[in-house]
Structure 1
């Protein structure tokens, strides 16, 4: 499986994990009525960091592929 083959599913599943942790954060705030423990507040951050890495990788892949193929990056 190529890099593009595993990065996209990883990005999608990380987005699901991130969404669930954010929802859990809001639920904890609503049920507790105040500030939840720090580990609940910061739980979405590892998934957010992975989303940043995988998203930037997917963004850069077409440019790397074009550079490797020898095609110009800008069309005149």
Structure 2
């Protein structure tokens, strides 16, 4: 498995973790629980999710330049 496939797999799992954190935040807000850490819990997977998403977004553009050179 090459590195692009690893990044895709990590991105998928991070998106699941982010979705679960958002659901936990919505449940906490609905139950009126005053726990700030629940709201901040969504940022833990969000930062690497942003990084992997930007990498996956840039892949077609980076690959296009190397194909033009060969």
The bucket for the TM-score relative to the shorter chain is 0.7 to 0.9
TM-score (structure 2 length as normaliser): 0.85
> Moved runs in structure 1, 4+ residues, more than 3 A?
none
**Partners in 1 of 2:46 and 2:16 — Cα distance?**
11
Cα RMSD (Å): 1.4
Indicate the residue corresponding to 1:59 in structure 2. 57
Query: What is aligned with 2:39?
Result: 41
TM-score, length-scaled by structure 1: 0.79
Mark the runs of 5 or more structure 2 residues left unpaired by the alignment: none
Query: Could you list the runs of 5+ residues in structure 1 that have no partner in the other structure?
Result: 72-76
Partner of 1:8: 8
Identify, as 1 or 2, the structure richer in helix.
2
Aligned counterparts of 1:66 and 1:46: Cα–Cα separation in 2 = 32
Count of residues in Structure 1 that have an aligned counterpart in Structure 2: 69
